[in-house]
Amino acid sequence: MWRLLLLIAVAITGILGLAWLPLQAQNDKRCFSETNQCINGRIREFWEQSGGLSVFGYPIQPQQAEVVEGQLITLQWFERNRLELHPENERPYDVLLGRLGVDKLELEGRNWRDFETLAPGSVMGGTCRMFVETGHSVCGDFLDAWRANGLEFDGQPGFSDAENLALFGMAVSSPQTEVVEGREYLVQWFERARFELHPEYEPPYRVLFGLLGNDLASVVRPQPRPSESTAPPETNPPPRDTNSCPTEVLDSLQSAYEQVAFRDFMGCADTVMRGEQLDGALQWFERGVMIWLPPLMDDDPGRLYVVYRTDGKGLTILHQGYQVFADMWNADTDLPDAEPPSDELLAPTGRFGKVWHDHADVRERLGWAIAASQPDIIDAQLFFVSNSADVTNEQRTEPAASSGALLWTRTIEPTNSNATRAVYAFGPEPANVLLVQE
């Protein structure tokens, strides 16, 4: 009941303005008597702009340095999530969310891949949204809650699918009955959240978000050594003036381009390195995907984009990276033998296999293929720091010279009844990659 009262309090603040605001607001701090903790700086700004109390809950620990996935990060724990400061990224990616849904399942010894995948709408009726990468869908009241919240990327009213995904991540389970705080509820797990259906409450309070931050904040984790510095790395260079770019983005890619928060860093769309209805290919791996973009001009070898998931537990917008390689494969290329650890996994062959075998870091980060490579029809456009008139053909044929790319892949798995396309956006830094599903 106290969680419902908390949410009602949030709704009341929309009417009464600052009535419930913190005890003090000096030096950029906002403090809460409920937990005797404060928020300030960029974390406060992000918390207030991205859902505040109803989405993240109260802060339960101060900002502090912790080791996350081998990196020393300044972060703060909240009742429902963990906010991490990443000053090396441009806004809005300078604050990332912990993947507490998956972390909680791992702590309980549960692998989300073992969850049964159910037909969309079989548990909860209504409209559904399918996640190809995990095989699960979100429907009904849970979908309403998923779409009602998100991270603000584009400054437009409401939340786009990309903004919903950035906040909660993909569904990693179907709705299932579990015991929460001594009672059985219908719940659904997401990468960064657990949705709980509380039929005893009236809308819009029927769906509550699990207090995963409370569950995980006290778990013992590696801590930084006293000698380790918490100073933030240097920030990226300032955005490029895209108003000086004479070339427009292809019509088929424009809507996705407008959803890319780092588009000002991608440079200028190129008039030469672009094409529609290209015969490309794609292959899924345990922890990512490879996309082959065929040559776009003479002397262009073609290129392979490798998109990584953080740790193989769902392709996310916020926690991923990419690499791009020139396509050096030909029909006479011999590849070494590789024996997958199980019958469900495959060793990639062909051009995907060459990159996978030639680069140990790619093998380690991607893992084994989970499906055979398949043809794909791709619309693509590359970007460069300079406008098209100043880009040389030598630069165009060198993958590392490009400062960005947009790839529209048609591959949608048969189980996905909603998405009709996936557009991958790549920026100048390895962390600048975004999947826009429309």
Q: pLDDT per residue over 138-173, tens digit each? A: 999 999 999 999 888 777 888 888 888 889 989 999
Is pLDDT larger for residue 23 or for residue 426? 426
Per-position DSSP letters for 313-355, written without gaps between them:
S---SSSEEEEEEE----TT--------SSTT-B---HHHHHH
Q: In this structure, what token pair is assigned to residue 93?
A: 């990616």
Best-predicted range by mean pLDDT among 53-67, 80-94, 293-307, 309-323?
Answer: 293-307
CA distance 28 to 410: 47
The DSSP H or E segment spanning 10 is: helix 2-16
Q: pLDDT per residue over 330-345, tens digit each? A: 888 888 889 999 999 9
The full set of domain ranges for the chain reads 2-216, 242-437
Residue 320 pLDDT grade (very low, low, confident, very high; cuts 50, 70, 90) = low
> Which residues of 2-78 form beta strands (DSSP E)?
30-32, 37-39, 64-68, 71-77
Q: Reduced to 3 states, what is the DSSP secondary structure of residue 122?
A: coil
User: Hey, how many other C-beta atoms are within 10 angstroms of the C-beta on 349?
Assistant: 18
Burial class (CB in 10 A: 0-12, 13-18, 19+), 133: buried
Provide the whole-model pTM: 0.50
**CA R_g for the chain:** 23
pLDDT at 190 > cutoff 50 = yes
Q: pLDDT per residue over 61-99, tens digit each? A: 999 888 776 677 889 999 999 999 988 787 888 898 988
User: Hey, how many other C-beta atoms are within 10 angstroms of the C-beta on 433?
Assistant: 22
CA distance 119 to 269: 41
CA distance 86 to 74: 8
Place of tokens 């769309």: 269
Is pLDDT larger for residue 377 or for residue 125? 377
